Amino acid sequence: MTLKEALFELINENVLIDFDERNESIELVETNDGNQTHTQEKKKTLLNSVTIIGIKSEDFIIAFKPDTDRFRFLGNLIKTKKEGDEKSRKPIKKSCDGIIFCKIKGVHYILVVELKSEKRNSLQEKYKAVKLFLTFLNETLKMYYDIEKNFTVINILFDRNLKSGKPRFLPAPSEREKNIQIYFQQGFNKPQENKTRIERILDALNEEIKGNNDITYLN
């Protein structure tokens, strides 16, 4: 069984994200951002979606939305807080807007994508929780499918922040602490019809790898 076949067997079909083979692109849509509470005028300023282009059909493996209420990874088995103690809450059930598996030039990548219209709240918690899920998924592939791959995980933030300069990895090396999750950030000035190329992300990754070893690998 191939990696693609195994992942399609494992991941619920209700959370799959369609890949546009004709245009070799995939659209990520922001979810669970409280849009229903915003005015129509405010909705026009939100980052609704971003399309990643340049992933060839033969390189695409699978994409899905882990941030779907009915299909969350941990369900109700794991408690996130002590009863009656809100301060004890652990954000281990948080997730992101999209996860993409692809293989480009022989390298297996997992793109962990989050879209933010406004504040970057809970960003670190989301990336850490997704890392737990991906570790479980990777071990499941080994144990039940005899599939062992070396995955390079790229956390990605698409937002409306254009002040950060050119797309790059954040936080800056001097601001990184233990267990910090670094991420590629790119800002857009339109609420929709935003596009970026996979090459831009991978070029930034190559620059990041030259300077440090903070990139996450699953093997």
pLDDT in tens, 5-36: 999 999 999 999 999 999 999 999 987 544 45
Among the ranges 25-34, 150-159, 178-187, which has the highest mean pLDDT value?
A: 150-159
Provide the whole-model pTM.
Answer: 0.89
Alpha carbon distance 195, 188 (integer Å): 9
Q: pLDDT digits over 29-78, tens only?
A: 987 544 455 555 556 678 889 999 999 999 999 999 998 777 777 777 77
Q: Is 8 exposed, middle or buried (0-12, 13-18, 19+ CB in 10 A)?
A: middle
- The pLDDT of residue 219 is 61
What the block records as the tokens of 105 is: 């030039």
- The pLDDT of residue 40 is 58
Alpha carbon distance 121, 155 (integer Å): 15
